[in-house]
Chain A
Amino acid sequence: MMQLSCPWCGPRNVNEFHHDGPLHRRPDPAATTVDEWRHYLYIRQNPHGVVEERWYHAAGCRKFLIVKRDTRTNTVIPAEGEPR
Protein backbone atom coordinates (compact mmCIF):
# COMPACT_ATOMS: atom_id res chain seq x y z
CA MET A 1 0.00 0.00 0.00
CA MET A 2 1.30 3.44 -0.88
CA GLN A 3 1.30 5.92 1.97
CA LEU A 4 1.97 9.64 2.06
CA SER A 5 3.15 11.38 5.16
CA CYS A 6 0.92 14.36 5.86
CA PRO A 7 2.77 16.88 8.06
CA TRP A 8 -0.43 17.45 10.04
CA CYS A 9 -2.09 14.01 10.12
CA GLY A 10 0.88 11.62 9.86
CA PRO A 11 1.20 8.67 7.45
CA ARG A 12 -2.06 8.05 5.57
CA ASN A 13 -3.23 5.87 2.69
CA VAL A 14 -2.67 7.54 -0.68
CA ASN A 15 -6.39 7.19 -1.46
CA GLU A 16 -7.06 10.05 0.94
CA PHE A 17 -5.06 12.46 -1.21
CA HIS A 18 -5.69 14.25 -4.47
CA HIS A 19 -2.72 14.48 -6.85
CA ASP A 20 -1.96 17.96 -8.12
CA GLY A 21 1.35 17.30 -9.87
CA PRO A 22 4.62 19.22 -10.22
CA LEU A 23 4.35 22.89 -9.41
CA HIS A 24 4.04 25.21 -12.37
CA ARG A 25 3.64 28.96 -12.21
CA ARG A 26 0.59 30.66 -13.69
CA PRO A 27 1.56 33.53 -15.97
CA ASP A 28 0.00 36.93 -15.29
CA PRO A 29 -3.23 36.86 -17.38
CA ALA A 30 -2.94 40.59 -18.06
CA ALA A 31 0.60 40.42 -19.40
CA THR A 32 0.81 36.95 -20.99
CA THR A 33 0.77 36.00 -24.67
CA VAL A 34 -1.65 33.43 -26.12
CA ASP A 35 1.19 30.95 -26.63
CA GLU A 36 2.40 31.31 -23.05
CA TRP A 37 -1.13 30.87 -21.72
CA ARG A 38 -1.84 27.74 -23.77
CA HIS A 39 1.52 26.37 -22.75
CA TYR A 40 0.50 26.89 -19.12
CA LEU A 41 -2.90 25.32 -19.78
CA TYR A 42 -1.84 22.17 -21.59
CA ILE A 43 1.86 21.35 -21.46
CA ARG A 44 2.63 19.19 -18.44
CA GLN A 45 5.83 17.91 -16.98
CA ASN A 46 5.87 14.12 -16.94
CA PRO A 47 9.04 13.35 -14.98
CA HIS A 48 10.44 9.83 -15.18
CA GLY A 49 12.22 9.77 -11.84
CA VAL A 50 12.20 11.89 -8.69
CA VAL A 51 9.67 14.70 -8.73
CA GLU A 52 8.61 17.35 -6.24
CA GLU A 53 4.87 17.69 -6.51
CA ARG A 54 1.84 18.99 -4.69
CA TRP A 55 -0.85 16.77 -3.15
CA TYR A 56 -4.05 17.77 -1.41
CA HIS A 57 -5.24 15.89 1.66
CA ALA A 58 -8.84 15.82 0.47
CA ALA A 59 -10.16 13.19 2.89
CA GLY A 60 -8.20 14.49 5.86
CA CYS A 61 -7.04 17.91 7.01
CA ARG A 62 -7.71 19.42 3.55
CA LYS A 63 -4.32 21.08 3.44
CA PHE A 64 -1.81 21.06 0.58
CA LEU A 65 1.55 19.37 0.98
CA ILE A 66 4.71 18.95 -1.06
CA VAL A 67 5.82 15.35 -1.62
CA LYS A 68 9.04 14.08 -3.19
CA ARG A 69 8.33 10.86 -5.06
CA ASP A 70 10.09 8.62 -7.57
CA THR A 71 7.54 8.12 -10.37
CA ARG A 72 9.27 4.91 -11.50
CA THR A 73 8.58 3.07 -8.25
CA ASN A 74 6.21 5.38 -6.29
CA THR A 75 8.77 5.44 -3.48
CA VAL A 76 8.24 8.52 -1.34
CA ILE A 77 11.49 10.26 -0.39
CA PRO A 78 11.23 11.79 3.09
CA ALA A 79 12.17 15.43 3.42
CA GLU A 80 15.28 16.29 5.41
CA GLY A 81 14.71 15.70 9.11
CA GLU A 82 11.41 13.91 8.50
CA PRO A 83 11.07 10.47 10.16
CA ARG A 84 11.24 7.56 7.72
Chain B
Amino acid sequence: MTLATSDPNVLHDWITVGPASRLLGTSPARPYVTRLLGAQACVWQEAATPAATLDGAPVSALLRYGYIWIWPAGTPAPLFDFPEYDEPGRRIVDCDGFGVAVSGPRMVENFLDMGHFPFVHADYLGTVPHTEVKPYTVSVDEANDEIRVTECRFVQPKSSSISTEPLEVHYRYRIMQPLSIMLYKSAFGRPDALDAIALFVQPVDEERIFAYTVMALFDDDSSHTSLVAFQHTIFGQDKPVLENQVPKRLPLRPGSETPTRCDVASVAYRRWLKARGMRYGVIAD
Protein backbone atom coordinates (compact mmCIF):
# COMPACT_ATOMS: atom_id res chain seq x y z
CA MET B 1 0.00 0.00 0.00
CA THR B 2 1.43 3.34 -1.02
CA LEU B 3 -0.65 6.15 0.35
CA ALA B 4 0.21 9.74 -0.50
CA THR B 5 0.65 10.66 3.16
CA SER B 6 2.85 9.57 6.04
CA ASP B 7 0.91 11.57 8.63
CA PRO B 8 0.49 9.31 11.69
CA ASN B 9 -2.56 11.34 12.76
CA VAL B 10 -4.53 9.78 9.92
CA LEU B 11 -2.62 6.52 9.44
CA HIS B 12 -2.46 5.35 13.06
CA ASP B 13 -6.00 6.05 14.18
CA TRP B 14 -9.54 5.03 13.39
CA ILE B 15 -11.11 6.98 10.50
CA THR B 16 -14.68 6.60 9.33
CA VAL B 17 -15.67 5.55 5.83
CA GLY B 18 -19.41 5.91 6.30
CA PRO B 19 -22.49 4.47 7.99
CA ALA B 20 -22.79 0.75 8.67
CA SER B 21 -25.85 0.72 6.41
CA ARG B 22 -23.51 0.86 3.40
CA LEU B 23 -22.64 -2.78 4.13
CA LEU B 24 -26.13 -4.11 3.40
CA GLY B 25 -25.93 -6.67 0.64
CA THR B 26 -22.14 -6.55 0.36
CA SER B 27 -19.84 -9.51 -0.23
CA PRO B 28 -16.15 -9.91 -1.12
CA ALA B 29 -17.20 -9.82 -4.76
CA ARG B 30 -19.46 -6.79 -4.31
CA PRO B 31 -17.95 -4.57 -1.62
CA TYR B 32 -18.91 -1.05 -0.62
CA VAL B 33 -16.39 1.09 -2.48
CA THR B 34 -15.34 4.54 -1.39
CA ARG B 35 -12.18 6.65 -1.18
CA LEU B 36 -10.05 7.47 1.82
CA LEU B 37 -6.76 9.38 2.02
CA GLY B 38 -6.61 9.52 -1.77
CA ALA B 39 -6.93 5.76 -2.17
CA GLN B 40 -9.70 3.28 -2.80
CA ALA B 41 -11.29 1.64 0.24
CA CYS B 42 -13.39 -1.51 -0.07
CA VAL B 43 -15.49 -2.78 2.82
CA TRP B 44 -17.80 -5.78 3.05
CA GLN B 45 -19.68 -7.72 5.67
CA GLU B 46 -17.90 -10.93 6.69
CA ALA B 47 -19.92 -12.92 9.25
CA ALA B 48 -20.31 -10.54 12.21
CA THR B 49 -17.47 -8.15 11.42
CA PRO B 50 -16.54 -5.94 8.51
CA ALA B 51 -13.52 -6.68 6.33
CA ALA B 52 -11.70 -3.95 4.46
CA THR B 53 -8.88 -3.10 2.12
CA LEU B 54 -7.26 0.27 1.56
CA ASP B 55 -5.34 0.75 -1.67
CA GLY B 56 -5.58 -3.01 -2.17
CA ALA B 57 -4.04 -3.97 1.18
CA PRO B 58 -6.07 -5.53 4.05
CA VAL B 59 -6.67 -3.16 6.95
CA SER B 60 -8.43 -3.43 10.32
CA ALA B 61 -12.07 -2.43 10.33
CA LEU B 62 -14.72 -2.17 13.00
CA LEU B 63 -18.35 -1.10 13.38
CA ARG B 64 -19.04 1.34 16.16
CA TYR B 65 -21.68 3.99 16.82
CA GLY B 66 -23.44 2.92 13.62
CA TYR B 67 -20.37 3.71 11.51
CA ILE B 68 -17.57 1.84 9.75
CA TRP B 69 -14.05 2.69 10.97
CA ILE B 70 -10.76 1.79 9.33
CA TRP B 71 -7.26 1.78 10.86
CA PRO B 72 -4.98 2.44 7.85
CA ALA B 73 -1.57 1.33 9.14
CA GLY B 74 -0.07 -0.54 12.11
CA THR B 75 -1.72 -2.02 15.19
CA PRO B 76 -5.09 -0.56 16.19
CA ALA B 77 -5.75 0.97 19.59
CA PRO B 78 -9.27 1.47 21.07
CA LEU B 79 -11.64 3.95 19.46
CA PHE B 80 -12.68 7.02 21.49
CA ASP B 81 -15.65 6.65 23.84
CA PHE B 82 -19.07 7.98 22.97
CA PRO B 83 -20.93 7.06 26.18
CA GLU B 84 -24.10 8.95 25.21
CA TYR B 85 -24.61 6.58 22.28
CA ASP B 86 -25.58 3.70 24.57
CA GLU B 87 -27.21 5.76 27.30
CA PRO B 88 -30.79 4.73 28.14
CA GLY B 89 -33.41 7.35 27.35
CA ARG B 90 -31.53 8.76 24.41
CA ARG B 91 -32.72 8.57 20.86
CA ILE B 92 -30.09 7.90 18.19
CA VAL B 93 -30.56 9.74 14.91
CA ASP B 94 -28.12 9.01 12.10
CA CYS B 95 -28.21 11.92 9.65
CA ASP B 96 -25.77 10.20 7.26
CA GLY B 97 -23.64 12.82 5.49
CA PHE B 98 -22.63 14.97 2.57
CA GLY B 99 -19.63 15.71 0.43
CA VAL B 100 -17.84 19.03 0.93
CA ALA B 101 -15.00 20.34 -1.20
CA VAL B 102 -12.83 21.42 1.71
CA SER B 103 -10.25 19.88 4.08
CA GLY B 104 -11.31 17.93 7.18
CA PRO B 105 -9.75 20.37 9.68
CA ARG B 106 -11.67 23.32 8.16
CA MET B 107 -14.89 21.31 8.64
CA VAL B 108 -14.09 20.53 12.28
CA GLU B 109 -13.16 24.14 12.99
CA ASN B 110 -16.48 25.32 11.54
CA PHE B 111 -18.33 22.85 13.79
CA LEU B 112 -16.54 24.42 16.80
CA ASP B 113 -17.49 27.96 15.88
CA MET B 114 -20.42 29.94 17.30
CA GLY B 115 -19.64 33.36 15.83
CA HIS B 116 -21.12 32.37 12.48
CA PHE B 117 -24.53 31.37 13.86
CA PRO B 118 -26.31 34.74 13.27
CA PHE B 119 -24.89 35.01 9.74
CA VAL B 120 -24.62 31.60 8.12
CA HIS B 121 -27.50 30.14 10.14
CA ALA B 122 -29.60 33.31 10.41
CA ASP B 123 -32.94 32.64 12.12
CA TYR B 124 -31.92 29.06 12.89
CA LEU B 125 -28.98 29.10 15.30
CA GLY B 126 -28.65 32.84 15.79
CA THR B 127 -30.06 36.23 14.78
CA VAL B 128 -28.65 39.74 14.48
CA PRO B 129 -28.28 41.64 16.83
CA HIS B 130 -27.66 38.73 19.25
CA THR B 131 -24.17 38.26 17.86
CA GLU B 132 -22.00 38.37 20.96
CA VAL B 133 -19.89 35.34 21.75
CA LYS B 134 -19.35 35.43 25.49
CA PRO B 135 -16.09 34.16 26.97
CA TYR B 136 -15.82 30.42 27.36
CA THR B 137 -13.22 27.95 28.56
CA VAL B 138 -10.83 25.72 26.64
CA SER B 139 -8.76 22.93 28.20
CA VAL B 140 -6.94 19.83 27.10
CA ASP B 141 -7.81 16.43 28.56
CA GLU B 142 -4.21 15.21 28.71
CA ALA B 143 -5.13 11.61 29.52
CA ASN B 144 -7.08 11.18 26.29
CA ASP B 145 -5.41 13.96 24.29
CA GLU B 146 -8.76 15.56 23.59
CA ILE B 147 -9.72 19.23 23.59
CA ARG B 148 -12.61 20.30 25.81
CA VAL B 149 -14.50 23.54 25.25
CA THR B 150 -16.95 24.44 28.01
CA GLU B 151 -19.22 27.18 29.31
CA CYS B 152 -20.28 28.31 25.86
CA ARG B 153 -23.55 30.18 25.62
CA PHE B 154 -25.40 31.61 22.65
CA VAL B 155 -28.85 33.17 22.14
CA GLN B 156 -30.76 31.15 19.57
CA PRO B 157 -34.15 31.75 17.97
CA LYS B 158 -34.79 28.22 16.74
CA SER B 159 -32.11 26.06 18.22
CA SER B 160 -33.76 22.77 17.29
CA SER B 161 -36.59 21.50 15.17
CA ILE B 162 -39.14 21.93 17.97
CA SER B 163 -38.25 25.13 19.83
CA THR B 164 -40.33 28.25 19.13
CA GLU B 165 -38.89 30.90 21.48
CA PRO B 166 -35.42 32.48 21.49
CA LEU B 167 -33.38 31.30 24.42
CA GLU B 168 -29.79 31.13 25.60
CA VAL B 169 -28.48 27.71 24.70
CA HIS B 170 -25.55 26.13 26.49
CA TYR B 171 -22.88 24.39 24.45
CA ARG B 172 -19.88 22.20 25.11
CA TYR B 173 -17.47 20.68 22.65
CA ARG B 174 -15.15 17.75 22.75
CA ILE B 175 -12.57 17.11 20.02
CA MET B 176 -11.69 13.42 20.15
CA GLN B 177 -9.49 13.23 17.07
CA PRO B 178 -8.34 15.71 14.44
CA LEU B 179 -11.36 14.65 12.36
CA SER B 180 -13.95 13.80 15.03
CA ILE B 181 -15.77 16.25 17.24
CA MET B 182 -18.79 16.20 19.51
CA LEU B 183 -20.99 19.05 20.51
CA TYR B 184 -23.33 19.02 23.46
CA LYS B 185 -26.20 21.45 23.68
CA SER B 186 -28.85 22.00 26.29
CA ALA B 187 -31.86 19.90 25.35
CA PHE B 188 -35.06 21.76 24.66
CA GLY B 189 -37.40 21.47 27.65
CA ARG B 190 -34.85 19.59 29.75
CA PRO B 191 -32.55 22.07 31.49
CA ASP B 192 -30.43 19.38 33.11
CA ALA B 193 -29.73 17.32 30.00
CA LEU B 194 -27.46 17.81 27.04
CA ASP B 195 -28.12 16.53 23.54
CA ALA B 196 -25.00 15.11 21.89
CA ILE B 197 -24.25 15.70 18.21
CA ALA B 198 -21.19 14.02 16.74
CA LEU B 199 -19.41 14.96 13.52
CA PHE B 200 -17.28 12.25 11.92
CA VAL B 201 -15.21 13.32 8.90
CA GLN B 202 -14.07 10.97 6.13
CA PRO B 203 -11.07 12.52 4.34
CA VAL B 204 -11.49 11.46 0.71
CA ASP B 205 -8.36 13.48 0.03
CA GLU B 206 -6.70 16.53 1.55
CA GLU B 207 -9.26 18.95 0.11
CA ARG B 208 -12.39 16.86 -0.11
CA ILE B 209 -14.38 15.12 2.61
CA PHE B 210 -17.62 13.43 3.53
CA ALA B 211 -19.06 14.84 6.76
CA TYR B 212 -21.41 12.58 8.77
CA THR B 213 -23.57 13.51 11.77
CA VAL B 214 -24.93 11.22 14.47
CA MET B 215 -27.12 12.55 17.25
CA ALA B 216 -27.91 11.09 20.69
CA LEU B 217 -30.89 13.15 21.85
CA PHE B 218 -33.44 13.56 24.58
CA ASP B 219 -36.43 14.07 22.31
CA ASP B 220 -39.42 11.79 22.19
CA ASP B 221 -41.72 14.12 20.26
CA SER B 222 -40.11 15.11 16.96
CA SER B 223 -40.36 12.91 13.90
CA HIS B 224 -37.18 11.27 12.65
CA THR B 225 -37.57 13.08 9.32
CA SER B 226 -37.87 16.50 10.93
CA LEU B 227 -34.77 15.94 13.08
CA VAL B 228 -32.72 14.86 10.06
CA ALA B 229 -34.17 17.69 7.94
CA PHE B 230 -33.09 20.27 10.52
CA GLN B 231 -29.51 18.98 10.54
CA HIS B 232 -29.46 18.87 6.73
CA THR B 233 -30.66 22.48 6.60
CA ILE B 234 -27.85 23.55 8.94
CA PHE B 235 -25.35 21.56 6.91
CA GLY B 236 -26.57 23.03 3.62
CA GLN B 237 -26.04 26.52 4.99
CA ASP B 238 -22.43 25.75 5.99
CA LYS B 239 -21.46 24.05 2.73
CA PRO B 240 -21.00 27.09 0.44
CA VAL B 241 -19.08 28.90 3.17
CA LEU B 242 -16.70 25.96 3.68
CA GLU B 243 -16.24 25.55 -0.06
CA ASN B 244 -15.30 29.21 -0.46
CA GLN B 245 -12.62 29.39 2.19
CA VAL B 246 -9.19 30.06 0.75
CA PRO B 247 -6.98 28.08 1.14
CA LYS B 248 -8.89 24.82 1.49
CA ARG B 249 -6.33 23.36 3.83
CA LEU B 250 -6.21 24.72 7.37
CA PRO B 251 -3.17 27.02 7.88
CA LEU B 252 -1.43 26.18 11.15
CA ARG B 253 1.20 28.91 11.13
CA PRO B 254 0.19 31.59 13.67
CA GLY B 255 -0.44 34.87 11.86
CA SER B 256 -1.59 33.35 8.59
CA GLU B 257 -5.20 34.11 9.55
CA THR B 258 -6.67 36.49 12.12
CA PRO B 259 -8.33 34.98 15.17
CA THR B 260 -10.11 37.14 17.67
CA ARG B 261 -11.16 36.62 21.29
CA CYS B 262 -14.07 34.31 20.45
CA ASP B 263 -11.75 32.10 18.42
CA VAL B 264 -9.94 30.69 21.48
CA ALA B 265 -11.22 27.21 20.67
CA SER B 266 -10.07 27.27 17.07
CA VAL B 267 -6.67 28.65 18.11
CA ALA B 268 -6.39 25.74 20.57
CA TYR B 269 -7.42 23.28 17.84
CA ARG B 270 -4.81 24.61 15.42
CA ARG B 271 -2.11 24.54 18.12
CA TRP B 272 -3.11 21.00 19.08
CA LEU B 273 -2.87 19.88 15.45
CA LYS B 274 0.57 21.49 15.13
CA ALA B 275 1.77 19.85 18.35
CA ARG B 276 0.58 16.48 17.04
CA GLY B 277 2.55 16.98 13.84
CA MET B 278 -0.57 17.11 11.68
CA ARG B 279 0.21 17.32 7.98
CA TYR B 280 -2.87 15.97 6.18
CA GLY B 281 -5.35 18.64 5.10
CA VAL B 282 -3.34 21.45 6.69
CA ILE B 283 -0.63 23.89 5.70
CA ALA B 284 1.86 23.09 8.42
CA ASP B 285 4.32 25.97 7.96
Bound pair: A and B? no
A: residues with CB less than 8 A from B are: none
B: residues with CB less than 8 A from A are: none
